[in-house]
Copies of this chain bind each other. A is one copy, B any other.
Amino acid sequence: MPDKLSQTFTALADPTRRALLAKLSRGETNVSELAKPFLKKMSLPAITKHLKVLEKAGLITKSRIAQMRPCKINGEALKDVAQWMEQYRIYWEESLDRLGEYLKTIHPTPSSKGKNDGRTS
Contact = CB atoms under 8 A, between A and B. Distances in A.
Interface stretch (A18-26, A36-44, A62-70, A111-119): A18-26
Interface in A4-45: 5-10, 12-15, 18, 21-22, 25
B91 A73 contact: yes
Interface residues of A, number: 36
A40 B79 CA distance: 32
Contacts of A21: 88
Given A25-B91, A75-B94, 12 more contacts: A3-B15, A5-B15, A6-B15, A9-B10, A9-B12, A21-B88, A73-B88, A75-B88, A78-B91, A79-B95, A81-B81, A82-B96
